[in-house]
A and B are shown apart, each in its own frame.
Chain A
């Protein structure tokens, strides 16, 4: 149940995408997100879908794994779809009470849903093929120029990589504590809203305590190994672009061009 959150979880197989430089993937994700907002008709989304399909294929991560990540945004999806559906002006199809459904609304809602779904799946491709460490390495390097204006890029990257690293650990911990309380007769499913909220206390308290304990332990372990920020710190695996990365950048350029073209169809 709780293990089904795939965002921030690396899927360890070997593929072109896994071997790609994290900067390339970061930039690619950005390009993809921008393209989703540039596209404004069926053709644009068709091209975006095609690219997504090809990339998912290349990543060798099972599609089912990627779709699972969508469950996390189901609620958001529902809200944004219904807002678009009911609150867009235009030619009316039918109305229920004060709620009007228009052609434009249906169109907007459909696009919104597609956009959100592609957005989440597109970023899942990145997080599933890139270890959190690579990801933050990529971020740190790409944003390195900000250090000149005294933005603590390294520290922020470190915070992020730790946060990402902790997600699966906390998920596992939640699972474990949940089981332990269920063994003591806890019931996390039945009851009304208040009952359910109450039943979460035996889960949340140990979870927070363990999160804080882990955090202090980690801080101590880092200090014991003389961690003192990014100053003068070298990398074990410095990032270097390979041929496939240049190819990828070329693909991005072509893709963006095509998306812009579809706007004039």
Chain B
């Protein structure tokens, strides 16, 4: 039991005319080593929710526990929590500031008070992990392309070696290859190190492919919680929330309507391919 959220409520600008209820009674639990996808329409409170998980925002109501400890209790070190729960913000490239790539990535581990050679080692590992070639390391981060900046920013969080990695739309605005590369790396971290991953994304295909479990947010409330297969079965309700199921799920449903006997819970292209081949062989 790594992260437990109980009845979390958050209101922006409380007590003013600009009041905005961003989270409303959200509860869930994320065990160690799970790959969780977080989806929801624009403004549904995803970014607000994940900022609570490493103590950057103080909730209006409700509690958050990390490994059983209330993170907002007296004397709990939020700085230590932040080294364990790494958070990559939406458009993280806007946080770069150093003269060169490698020093920017060193910023996080250095803040942890590690010895200098370990700081450097971790930064190099993190940069290799996100696929930044050595020739870029001494360059100014501001001279890189948007996608490269994104990788450097992600490396900046990875270098802190977190137990939980939260990514807020890490692939928005990347090309398909870059997107797959980054998500594959994340999956590798998940498989190899057992890192808990919370991924926010608007791509249902990515969610079906990578996530073991989906949390669906709708107007600040938790709407669904389950495996991608279970969730995408509710594609009609999802559509009402401004979401959708993966394309291939629609194809499968259309096929079923025409009398093809195929599993309705198919969410990825690979699954559909295998199922279709089987159907054809049977015929």
**Identity of the chain B residue whose Cβ is nearest the Cβ of A182 in the assembled complex:** B56
Which of B17, B54, B56 has the most C-beta atoms of chain A within 10 angstroms of its own C-beta?
Answer: B17
Residues of A within 8 A of B160 (CB): 184-185
- A180/B79 in contact, CB under 8 A: no
The answer to whether A202 has its CB under 8 Å from any CB of chain B is yes
Cβ of A230 under 8 Å from chain B: no
| Residues from chain A with Cβ under 8 Å of B97 in the complex | 201-202, 205-206
Assess the A183–B56 pair: CB atoms within 8 A. Answer: yes
Residues of B within 8 A of A187 (CB): 79, 111
Whether A184 contacts B142 in the complex (CB less than 8 A), given A177-B95, A179-B56, comes out as no
Segment 50-90 of B: residues with Cβ below 8 Å from A: 51, 54, 56-57, 79, 82-83, 86-87, 89
The secondary-structure label for the interface of chain A is helix
- On whether A206 and B96 interact (CB within 8 A), knowing A180-B89, A183-B82, A183-B157, the answer reads yes
- Bound together, the chains give a CA A210 to CA B112 distance in angstroms of 27
Contacts of B16 in A (CB 8 A): 11, 62, 65
Is the CB of B232 closer than 8 A to any CB of chain A? no
- Asked if B246 CB lies within 8 Å of chain A CBs, one says no
- Chain B residues near A180 (CB-CB < 8 A): 89, 92, 94-95
Kindly name the residue among A176, A184, A187, A210 whose own CB sees the greatest number of chain B CB atoms within 10 A. A184
Cβ contact of B87, chosen from A65, A183, A201, A209, cutoff 8 A: A183
What CA separation (Å) do A226 and B95 show in the bound complex? 33
Indicate if A146 sits at the interface (CB-CB under 8 A): no
B85-119: CB near A (< 8 Å → 1, else 0) gives 01101001011110000000001100110000000
Q: How far is the CA of A155 from the CA of B86 in the complex (A)?
A: 46
Interface size class of B (residues with CB under 8 A): 20 to 34
Q: Is A64 an interface residue (CB 8 A)?
A: yes
Q: Is A90 an interface residue (CB 8 A)?
A: no
Number of contacting residues on A, CB 8 A?
24
Which residue of chain B has its CB nearest to the CB of A60?
A: B17
A183 contacts B17, CB within 8 Å?
Answer: no
Kindly name the residue among A12, A180, A201 whose own CB sees the greatest number of chain B CB atoms within 10 A. Answer: A180
Taking CB atoms, residues of chain A closer than 8 Å to B18 are 11-12
> Is there an interface contact between A64 and B15, defined as CB atoms closer than 8 Å?
yes
Contact indicator A202/B82 (Cβ below 8 Å): no
Q: What residues on A are CB-neighbors of B94 within 8 Å?
A: 176-177, 180, 206, 209-210
Complex CA–CA separation, A62 to B14 (angstroms):
12
- Which residues of A have CB within 8 Å of B15? 62, 64
Answer whether residue A181 sits at the interface, using C-beta atoms and an 8 A cutoff: yes
Task: Verify if A13 is at the interface (C-beta below 8 Å from B).
Answer: yes
Of all chain A residues, the one with the shortest Cβ separation from B153 is: A180
Complex: A206 Cα to B157 Cα, angstroms = 17
Interface string of A110-138 (1 = CB under 8 A from B): 00000000000000000000000000000
Query: Which residues of chain B are near A206, meaning CB under 8 Å?
Result: 94-97
Give the complex CA separation of A179 and B54 in angstroms.
10
Residues of A contacting B170 in the complex (Cβ-Cβ under 8 angstroms):
none
- Interface contact B86-A183, CB-CB below 8 Å: yes
Chain A residues closer than 8 Å to B51, beta-carbon distance: 179
Enumerate B14-57 residues with CB–CB distance to A below 8 Å: 15-18, 51, 54, 56-57
Instruction: Report chain B residues within 8 Å CB of A210.
Output: 94
Question: Given the interface contacts A11-B16, A206-B97, does A184 sit within 8 Å of B89 by beta carbon?
Answer: no
Interface flag for B156 (CB, 8 Å): yes
Q: Is the CB of B89 within 8 A of A185?
A: no
* Interchain CB contact under 8 A, A11 and B17: yes
A30 at the binding interface (Cβ < 8 Å): no
Whether A163 is near chain B, meaning CB under 8 Å from some CB there, is no
Say whether A185 contacts B112, CB under 8 Å.
Answer: yes
Q: Indicate which residue in B87, B96, B111 contacts A186 across the interface (CB closer than 8 Å).
A: B111
Nearest residue, chain B, Cβ from A12: B17
Contacts of A202 in B (CB 8 A): 95, 97, 107
Q: How far is the CB of B151 from chain A (nearest CB, A)?
A: 15
Which of B's residues lie within 8 Å of A, judged by CB?
Answer: 13, 15-18, 51, 54, 56-57, 79, 82-83, 86-87, 89, 92, 94-97, 107-108, 111-112, 142, 156-157, 160
Identify 4 new A-B residue pairs, CB closer than 8 A, beyond the known A62-B16, A206-B95. Answer: A12-B18, A177-B95, A183-B86, A184-B95
